A and B are shown apart, each in its own frame.
Chain A
Amino acid sequence: MIHLFREVMLEKQWMGQQVDRSICVWFWEQAFPARDSYKVPSVIASPAHYLLHIVREGITFLACTQYEMSPLLGIEFLCRVANVLSDYLGGLNEDLIKDNFVIVYQLLDEMMDSGFPLTTEPNILKEMITPPNIVSRMLSVVTGGSSTVNNILPGATSSNVPWRASDLKHVNNEVYVDLVEEIDATVNRDGFLVKCEVYGEVHVNSRLSGVPELTLSFSNPSILNDIRFHPCVRFRPWEAHQVLSFVPPDGAFKLMSYRVKKLKNTPIYVRPQLSSDAGVCQVNILVGMRNDPGKPIDSIALKFTFPQSVVSSDLTANHGSVDVLTHKACTWSIGRIPKDKAPCLTGTLTLESGQDCLREFPTILVGFKIMGVAMSGLKIDKLDLQNLGYRPYKGFRALTQAACYEIRI
């Protein structure tokens, strides 16, 4: 199994049979005729190998295998690699990877052994290989070299809680719980709400000494449709009392993700109207608040791409700014909805000659953010800490944002 980042960035081979780099050329040929590589399914069969890939921030993580394996294992591993790398390097881009290629190699070497994942827990990895930071870099410049490789095997590798280092000490003991929710909604061409659901994640940032036992309970757990847990969550208490009981990893992590389906309302409405006649299309899009979530709705933005047949556009808005990019992508950033007026986007689109009216209709993607509110209505009841000799600071937050909020015109 090998990994390749971009065409010539990095390559790591794990199994006996070496895979030639030429496989990448083949892959790019497959990926590029279709404008972007998203057009290629994540698992494809090349003449000699099977290629799995994911794309993160313009970097393609490509794995290839010759034998039968669970494709999801490969894909999930690639995702994990991407996450760990971006965690280490503070982002993902070509330069960052090139600058820190040694660390990337060391990480990859640690994360996989003979084609099977070895240590993938970010906390342990951080103990094994020191993440690059300003201090260590300065130090290396001054002293002329310092090791990024830790020479002691982290104790967590042998413990039953592999995600947590055994002896942690923090000056300020604190734990934060964030509810981050994303609204997915689809409004069809007739203006009906076809689908509206909330995908939420519970992020916990724990800075606690020792080995704490946390118990998190919700006041209304019954509204959760689907759930997934971090490996640290014990299944039994949830099955019995719908209570999350866990020993947290140190630092920030995603405790659980959930989905609440079949919501009836969306916080804002978007009413597009398109009427086309004789090669010109009149556009009129109205945005307004539907039901007040109690907190201000921030950074509202509408995005859509003109159909191929549109030649030029002339769009103006009474609030916010409109940007039309060269590849016909239009963004209307509204920000907050003003109290006195309803934001409105008006203008015309000119169709290419020979086209009387618009036949293909774009989909508007809506983005917004509401701080302090969980749209699903999920409420955290309490967070208990056991076997601790101290009283940590506990903090709760909530955030809702639009993820896949689509308005079909």
Chain B
Amino acid sequence: MLPQFAETAASFSRASTLMLRMGTDAHLYDDPQDANINSLLDSKFDSEKVEALKRLLALMSQGCDVSNFFPQVVKNVASQSLEVKKLVYIYLVHYAERRPDEALLSINSFQKDLSDLNPLVRAWALRAMSGIHVHVVAPLVLMAVTKCSRDPSPYVRRCAANAIPKLYDLDREQNNNALEELIGLLFNDNSAGVIGATAAAFNSVCPNNLSLIGSKFKRLCETLPDVEEWGQIILIEILLRYVVAKHGISKISAAYNSGYTKRLFIERETSDCSLEHWNGNKGQNKEEKNIFPGSDTIDQQSRLLETTSLNSDSSKSSDAIPIIDLDNDVKLLLQCTSPLFWSQNSGVVLAAAGVHWLMAPMKEVKRIVKPLLFLLRSSYDSQYVVLANLATFVGEMPSLFEQNFEDFFIRSSDTYHMRAIKLEILSIVATESSIHTILQELQDYVRDPDRKFAADAVAAIGKCAKRLPTVALTCLKGLLALVRKSSVSLEGSHSLASEKTGESMKEKFPGIKAAHLFRADFMLTDGDKDDSEASVLTQTILAIKTILQQNPDELEKVFVPLIRSLDLINVPTARAIIIWMVGEYSSTGTVLPKIVPTLLQYLAACFPTEGLESKLQILNCAAKVILHCEASCKKAISLVVNYVLDLGRCDLSYDVRDRARMLKQLLAHSFSGVGVDGENEASQTYAVEQIISLADLPQCSGVESERSEDNSERHVFGKTIFQQHDPHGNLVSAIAKYIFSPKLDPVLHSTTKQRLFLPGSLSHIVQHTAPGYRPLPKPFSLSETCIPCDAEVCQPIESRSKTRVDDHDSSGDDTDYIYSSTDRSFSEGSLQSHISGSDPENDRLSDSESPEFETKTKDKWKSSPNSSNAKSVKSKILDSNTKMIGNIKSKSKEVDERHTAEPLIFLSDSEHGKEIVEDGSCVPVGSDCLQLMREDALESWLGPEVPISRPVLHTEESVPSGYASLSIGALDAELRKHTLLDFTNGDGMNVMYAFSKECSSYSSESVCVRLFFENRSLVAFTKIIVRADDSIVSPSEPELPPTQAHGRTAVSPDSPTVIPTQEIPFLEAGETTQRDLHVCFHQLTPLKLGIHFNNKCYSVRLMPEIGALLRPLSMNLIEFTAKESQISGMLEYSRRCTFRERLQRFSNVNDFQLQHDKLIVVARNIASRVLSRVYASIVSVTIPIFTSFRDDSNMNGDIEGLCLRFSGETLLECMPCLITVTVDGCHSEFKLPVLVKINCEDTVFGLNLLKKLVEVLSGS
């Protein structure tokens, strides 16, 4: 009965699991390929499509590459079912990058979805569209994002904000300005969710463009609590950067006062610049460097401090640190971040704490303590990161946390890494009042099963004792007990152990043999566990050593017991440290010198069985002992030392042998009692070198730190001795004495490295600069002029200063700036205000000039704005401007003289009603220079009211205020011929074709293709005709144009229509002839043609040339710009490329003339290159006239900004197509970066044309 029941139960449970899995997608995951995915995808039922897509997803998640289904999947993107859509999107985004061409097929469907009524559909379409990582669609995505960022649904706007980083990632340089504009727009959004996402976009696109935040700072702060948590984390960081850049780190903040700045300050005040202080500051400087960029920050800050201290000196000399009230911005930020301490998200709390730590005044920084500590309890997973950050805070300000030491007590669930950090924190926060509790706790840790942790705990005890000398004695006692215990336990792990403690050294001698045996045994059977146990012991002894070095008074009390237990300690490293101590303190105190001889004997006896480290230390110890011992026992000791040295010389290890040999050499005099007069110089040199190398010898870990510290000193010492060497003096013994003299108190290094990065960053956790890590901006780097809300900025130049990005090298920029301003802006008021506007920047950033000088000049300018100073500047500027004009003028004159007809430069003023005059009627500069020379004309020409064409253009230099339009004369681009039929394939008939520029006489939609027939055979050809290679058209009815035309409209409107050529009745051998073929291309696929002659048919393919599908459309510049603005946005595509080749060829010609109008040659080159492939008409060739000329020589070569405009319309639908080619930047002589822009309503056509143009221009 019972087994039966069990069976039913089992089957029942099986059934229940089946039930549970029923209806889920489990079967799809388990066996994704058991159905024909292809046929499912093509099914007309949504449910089957869903199943297929799920199967694909399962394969994807199992790591299979299913990109070969791409075409079928993409087809389904137009599905109405949202579920299908969603699954397709997931698939598409995953694989689009690998199949860019097919991904393009989905674009149309996205575009349709973008105008769907359902916001969810819009959002999805946008997300998927921006997710496909295909370069070509970048402009389309930009348009979509722009459109969606104005969407009524906040969700869609949020997705738009999220898409910005993706777009930026796709196209790093291209759309930056547009993206930044978008970010600015989205920051103004009234939905908090959008702002969060925008903050993320800001961080990835333009993290340093903090001036963007300026006007919105207040609003952003106020919405901060409403932003969702992820956005909060990022937004807090941005706001912090902004505040630091604008106001610097507040002087009364915790970080400021704990950090180096305060120390620096005090130093200046007391003018006490001791070396130690300097060294102390070095470390801090390093930290500062990582938080702030560049070392010059420190200089700036110090200079700033100097100035402030100067000020305070003058006002009230007694007060050291000027208390500056927090800026309102800072207050606001602090106020808005403080409620976030209650956030559920640990990231938000930490970010808010970081702000307070940097900015809050000392009194208020306490607020960060509790929330941070609460994080340790409330979010388990983030504990490690929080602890790492806490360690930094604690390291800077232990006093903040000393009340809460209990929170750093270790729990059994903590991982090793967390424990290590906690121990470090504990040893730092310990105070007189808490140390006893902490020590008790540390003692508990020593008994923990995790021995590595126990060793760390011991080290922490040592650190505590070092920090708080009052507890050193307690620690020592505890440690000694521990030594006894752990050495016993270590010994206990070896069955041979039978020694007992408390016996005197002499009594031990008989037992030495046994001890040696198991020591050797220990070396062999060194297990993992014992290893960690040994590390506990080593750490204990190391801690004792550290404490002893600090309190030499305790030496004897502690040391004697330690030596007594020496025999029990079997760990070579630990023994080495004790032996080192024996040598070090052999002559101190009263008891020690007495036991040392015995001890040395014991060590000598142990020598052969010691480990390497101990052996080396015994040798050193012996040398020290003999140098410092009293004369009475010298003889006995020298015997032992000699014995040890001899043993060492026969050792297996060459390190030991070397050491022994060298010591023998060095100590020779100590044995004999006579100096080494007889030694020659060479041997002395050798000795000194040996000594120096001795210092470099690898030491055992415990002693290493001291060694390395002494190293440099020793080098110096050795050299000085050698330099002033005294042939009869006891050089070697002096050296020996020096080497083995007592060491300085070492600095105990902290076990974990100081974390030098901004708290809360990834770099901080991994302790190296992660890619993309940005230190805080330079304090005060954001100049006041950048913030439009600042009322002090004067009105006339405000619009300009808005567009200016803060430039760090302000001095050079300012002069440029003055040049670019007009006479009007030179009126006293604006000049003054301009200077006062940039004043803080100058004060803070000027590297070369002292602040006093700065203020002096400023004062002068302020007090006498009409003084000669200002005037001279003004006249200078005018001078330079006239010079520039003169240059252009003379140049154009030269040009005039050379080619009277052809190239003319026309200057036109865009301000004056945009009168772009056409070639003929334009007034050449040369003829009317007087008018231009008139001052007011010049002013208006360079006037500030000129609407800046693109406000997003930030660099002041490139704001053009006028244009010169060039005439480059007629260009006759030759037709490019392509082979249609090669004579080798065509039995001697060679057919070439070219797209002629003539309009087709048959229909306006057709292109005229000129065919060049050449008979290369020896026989004549007859009845040559070329027509569409269509199987429907039978050869019996060769030409029926009307029916075909009819067929085009009725049957297949998509296939290109061909009007066959007129028949060539007869073509003799060697003869050539031409015929025109009229083709109407409906799409850009190759056209199949048949060439019929001699009753044979050769089928060929005619590749359409996209440029030929345009018809020139003449318009003037005004029409052009009007049209351009109509066809903007979504229908504007641009790409960047490099214009090469012909320029290169050209620049080889070292001709004076040619060099002079390089500009024109380049323009011609570009134009002919474009026109040879694209049948458009040229609208204008313009070059902006820069308001700030650089030097004269540059003027000739500078073709930056050269802009060629072409226009045309498509043959088929007569849609206008505008092409703009702009040279932007001139980096080298041979490569010109050009930006090609196309405005065309036909997306596909436009993109293809763009591709073609880029190909053409880049010469590939």
Contact = CB atoms under 8 A, between A and B. Distances in A.
A10 B61 contact: yes
A215 interface: no
Given A113-B162, A147-B83, A228-B378, A77 B23 contact: no
Contacts of B63: 8, 11, 21
Contacts of A239: 339
Contacts of A379: none
Contacts of A95: 26
A253 to B, nearest CB: 10
A148 B83 contact: yes
B1227 interface: no
Contact of A72 (B28, B344, B346): B346
A120 B120 CA distance: 16
Contacts of A78: 381
Contact of A76 (B47, B127, B346): B346
B416 interface: yes
Given A68-B762, A70-B761, A363-B412, A45 B495 contact: no
Nearest to B166: A114
A128 B169 CA distance: 29
Given A13-B94, A153-B118, A190-B440, A45 B766 contact: yes
Contact of B492 (A115, A197, A356): A356
A252 to B, nearest CB: 15
B385 interface: yes
Contacts of A132: 23-24
Interface in B144-176: 153-155, 158-159, 162-163, 165-166, 169-170
A254 to B, nearest CB: 8
B373 to A, nearest CB: 7
Interface residues of A, number: 109
A39 B493 CA distance: 28
Contact of A100 (B24, B339, B406, B761): B24
A375 B1194 CA distance: 82
Interface in A195-238: 195, 197, 199, 225-231, 233, 235, 238
Given A68-B763, A75-B381, A157-B193, A101 B441 contact: no
Interface string B784-814: 0000000000000000000000000000000
Contacts of A259: 374, 377-378
A71 B346 CA distance: 10
Contacts of B384: 41-43
B234 A70 contact: yes
Nearest to A45: B766
A366 B883 CA distance: 90
A351 B866 CA distance: 99
B233 to A, nearest CB: 5
Given A43-B766, A75-B382, A114-B162, A151 B342 contact: no
Interface string A116-152: 1110100000001000100011111100110111011
B86 A152 contact: no
Interface in A368-385: none
A101 B230 CA distance: 25
Contacts of B723: none
Interface string B489-507: 1001111000000000000
Contacts of B513: none
A70 B760 contact: yes
Interface in B189-206: 191-193, 197, 200
A231 B232 CA distance: 12
A109 B162 CA distance: 13
Interface in B207-256: 225-226, 228-230, 233-234, 237
Contacts of A336: none
Given A138-B23, A153-B119, A42 B370 contact: no
A258 B412 CA distance: 22
Interface in A60-115: 65-73, 75-79, 95, 98-103, 105-106, 109, 113-115
Nearest to B163: A114
Given A71-B385, A147-B81, A114 B370 contact: no
A76 B379 contact: yes
B50 interface: yes
Nearest to A67: B772
Contacts of B545: none
A100 B30 CA distance: 11
B716 interface: no
A362 interface: yes
A388 interface: no
A188 to B, nearest CB: 5
Given A70-B761, A227-B342, A361-B447, A8 B62 contact: yes
Contact of B233 (A44, A70, A141, A151): A70
A194 interface: yes
B451 interface: yes
A305 B347 CA distance: 34
A101 B58 contact: yes
A69 B28 CA distance: 36
B127 A113 contact: yes
Given A68-B772, A72-B385, A194-B409, A79 B379 contact: yes
Interface in A246-272: 254, 257, 259
Contacts of A147: 50, 81-83
A18 interface: yes
Interface in A392-409: 404, 406, 408
A232 to B, nearest CB: 10
A40 to B, nearest CB: 8
Contacts of A116: 162, 165, 197, 200, 230
B411 interface: yes
Contacts of A144: 47
A7 to B, nearest CB: 9
A101 B381 contact: no
B1196 interface: no
B406 to A, nearest CB: 5
B165 A115 contact: yes
B83 A73 contact: no
Contacts of A230: 344
A158 interface: yes
Contacts of A359: 447, 485-486, 489
Contacts of A152: 118, 120
A228 B89 CA distance: 38
Contacts of B120: 128, 151-153
A54 interface: yes
B194 to A, nearest CB: 10
Interface in A291-342: 305, 307-308
B23 to A, nearest CB: 3
Given A72-B346, A257-B344, 6 more contacts: A11-B60, A139-B23, A189-B444, A225-B374, A238-B342, A361-B448
Interface of A: 8-11, 13, 15-16, 18, 21, 38-39, 41-45, 50, 54, 65-73, 75-79, 95, 98-103, 105-106, 109, 113-118, 120, 128, 132, 136-141, 144-145, 147-149, 151-153, 157-158, 160, 162, 184, 186, 188-190, 194-195, 197, 199, 225-231, 233, 235, 238-239, 254, 257, 259, 305, 307-308, 353-357, 359-363, 365, 404, 406, 408
Interface of B: 21-26, 28-30, 46-47, 50-51, 54, 57-58, 60-63, 81-83, 86-87, 89-90, 94, 97, 118-120, 123, 127, 130-131, 133, 153-155, 158-159, 162-163, 165-166, 169-170, 191-193, 197, 200, 225-226, 228-230, 233-234, 237, 339, 342-347, 349-351, 370-371, 373-374, 377-379, 381-386, 406, 409, 411-413, 415-418, 437, 440-441, 443-444, 447-449, 451, 485-486, 489, 492-495, 529, 760-763, 765-766, 768, 770-774
22 contacts: A68-B763, A68-B774, A69-B762, A72-B385, A79-B379, A99-B25, A99-B29, A100-B25, A102-B25, A106-B90, A113-B162, A141-B22, A152-B120, A153-B153, A157-B153, A186-B411, A195-B409, A229-B342, A231-B229, A355-B492, A360-B451, A361-B449
